[in-house]
Amino acid sequence: MPDEHAHSGQPSQGTTNLIPGVKHVIAVSSGKGGVGKSTVAANLACALSLTGAKVGLLDADLYGPNIPMMMGSTKGPEQKDGKILPVESYGVKLISMAFLVPEEAPLVWRGPMVHQYLQAFFRDVLWGDLDYLLIDLPPGTGDVQLSLSQMVPLAGAITVTTPQEVALYDVRKGMAMFQKVNVPLLGIVENMSYFVCGHCGERTEIFSYGGGERAAEKLGLPFLGRIPIDPAIREGGDSGHPIIVADPASPQAAAFRDIAQKLIAAMSGAGEGSPPIESLLKKIKQSFTNN
């Protein structure tokens, strides 16, 4: 297991790099489950791939590894020369905890295995050269995030949230954790932001308005965009056809594409960037005391 003390306040970046052929490793995180983190990861991976980039997607959400289902990949990976070949779907190379952990394995077994599994995913998978590798993390702030930051240099982390205050509380905790291990914070995505009625076109803010943007502002982080709550997005996930490929002309797909463009900009150094660590930690502390 990772030694937590090795992290506190120390830069952990650059200690090892198990995947030197990958240019940008981006973690997709969330403070809590069910906010649409995997949906966002799958759609962003496809959106990046549609720009012509070489993209990988690593499903490290060992408590609910549903990327294969969302990406429509029904069969597991194959072997080549004693290594694992990622499955390919919509041009994205993917590997999932679901391929390794039997569905019926009790949850308590999974935690302690995380470090080894992650290591195998980097060391034993033939990722080849990639422009972007997105990592779908388990929700919350646990061992996976810490292990990850020891194994590969993370270019940054994005956090997915829903707009209501209870979800935002967890966002701040998650962000503070990434800061602690010196992972740049690329910004906040607000999912299930609003609902547009398919019949009358009226817009309803189901989980209140603009919470993600307010949290981003408070923390001085980029706000990457909002995704509507929409049956087509859910159907895309259930049927293995992410909306970005199933209906590229839809406004929902455009929302994902916008966020992908912001990530590309951030990776090329043209984005807003994350604020200096001292100012961010101060803001996070303040936002806790203000509530």
- The residue to which tokens 């069969």 are assigned: 75
Quickly count: other Cβ atoms within 10 Å of residue 52's Cβ. Answer: 9
Q: Which of 184, 237, 242, 275 binds ligand ADP (CB under 6 A)?
A: 237
The SS3 assignment for 204 reads strand
Q: Which of 2, 7, 22, 38 binds ligand ADP (CB under 6 A)?
A: 38
Using rule CB under 6 A, residue 33 touches ligand ADP: yes
Angle at which helices 211-219 and 277-289 cross, to 10°: 130
- Contact (Cβ atoms closer than 8 angstroms) between residue 133 and residue 24: yes
- Choice between 36 and 222, CB closer to ligand ADP: 36
DSSP-assigned letters across all residues of 79-111: EETTEEEPEEETTEEEEEGGGTS-TTS-HHHHH
Q: In whole angstroms, how close is the CB of 55 to ligand ADP at the nearest point?
A: 18
How many residues make contact with ligand ADP (CB under 6 A)? 18
Q: What sections of 95-210 are H helices per DSSP?
A: 107-123, 143-151, 165-180
Q: Which of 12, 29, 39, 149 binds ligand ADP (CB under 6 A)?
A: 39
The DSSP element (H or E) to which 25 belongs, if any, is: strand 22-30
Q: Which of 224, 229, 260, 264 binds ligand ADP (CB under 6 A)?
A: 229
What length is written for the chain?
291
Using rule CB under 6 A, residue 191 touches ligand ADP: yes
Using rule CB under 6 A, residue 30 touches ligand ADP: yes
Using rule CB under 6 A, residue 162 touches ligand ADP: no
Q: Which amino acid is at 75?
A: K
Give percent helix, percent strand, percent coil of the chain, each to the nearest 5: 40, 20, 40
Q: In whole angstroms, how close is the CB of 30 to ligand ADP at the nearest point?
A: 5
- Choice between 28 and 133, CB closer to ligand ADP: 28
Give the footprint of ligand ADP on residues 61-80 (CB under 6 A): 64, 66
Quickly count: other Cβ atoms within 10 Å of residue 197's Cβ. Answer: 9
- Choice between 97 and 280, CB closer to ligand ADP: 97
Q: In whole angstroms, how close is the CB of 94 to ligand ADP at the nearest point?
A: 15
Q: In whole angstroms, how close is the CB of 268 to ligand ADP at the nearest point?
A: 27
Residues that bind ligand ADP (CB under 6 A): 30, 33-39, 64, 66, 191-192, 227, 229-230, 233-234, 237
